[in-house]
Amino acid sequence: QIAKILGAPVVLVVDASACARSVAATALGHATFDPQMRLGGVVANMIGGSKDGAHVRWIRDAVESASGVLRDCGTNEPAMFFGGLPRDKQCSIPERHLGLHMPDESEEATVEASRRFDRLVALMEENLDLDGILELGRTCSMPMPSLHGHSQIPMAIPTPISKAKTTQNRCRIGIADDAAFCFYYADNLHLLKQAGAELVPFSPLSSTHLPPNIDGLYFGGGYPELHAAELEKNESLRKDVLSFCNSGAAVFAECGG
């Protein structure tokens, strides 16, 4: 949807670990499902073998053979095949139940994340047509607003919420914010502020008490199970939270929260 608003081409990344020619069928399905979406190119992920191997050749041949129907609706040029990324465990982000390992969990994790990123950059430079992808990006066709104030863009674009008028503070909401509770959508916090909420951060790990004079609590996502011992030790804060909940005040918790 964002690509349609911007008039930007989409590069479709397809998991090719268990398929070859059907990558072209998947791309064609995406292109025809929404004719207003510009499908400019295809990248195959998790390929077997090298960039010149049989797996990549089969996929490339299939995408190029569909050029009569697999086309970028913005330029009417055939969708390009930009190459395939091979399977490489050195680039894999380690998983855990209900999520991923965070890059800043420890110094070792930070170093490992940097190494993984460097390896992925090298793979992309070795296996993908990056110049072709950049050239495709230059075909973004979003019209500029006219000098007379009348937009030439054919579809409605939402007004950025940052331009909404901020109301005066109507309430104070305590936001759990530390290593145990760290997953928040910035838009949600921004909209709460726009609605008149003062957001007051506190740490369930280290704050001895809840912030004073709060009207609500917001516990976001995270991995509290990794910090269970520390959370258990913070008895004074746990008692504050329990008392706040029992008072009937507003409490919102999601995911790990």
The two three-digit tokens of residue 10, written as one number:
């989409």
Where is 110: in which H helix or E strand?
A: helix 107-127
Contact 184, 227 (CB under 8 A): no
CA-based radius of gyration for the chain: 25
Residue 84: what residue type?
A: G
- Residue 193 to residues 62, 184, 202, Cα–Cα distance (Å): 51, 14, 17
d(CA 213, CA 63): 62
DSSP letters, 74-101, are: TT-PBPEEEEEEEP-GGGPPPEETTEE-
Indicate if 255 belongs to the active site. Answer: yes
d(CA 110, CA 43): 28
Contact 243, 214 (CB under 8 A): no
Comparing C-alpha atoms, which of 234, 250, 211, 254 is closest to residue 98?
254
Tokens 């330029």 belong to residue: 75
Beta-bridge partners for 200 = 174
The active-site residue out of 140, 171, 182, 255 is 255
Exposure on the CB side of residue 216, measured as CA atoms within 13 A:
15
Question: C-alpha angle 204/184/235, rounded to 5°?
Answer: 10
Catalytic residues: 255
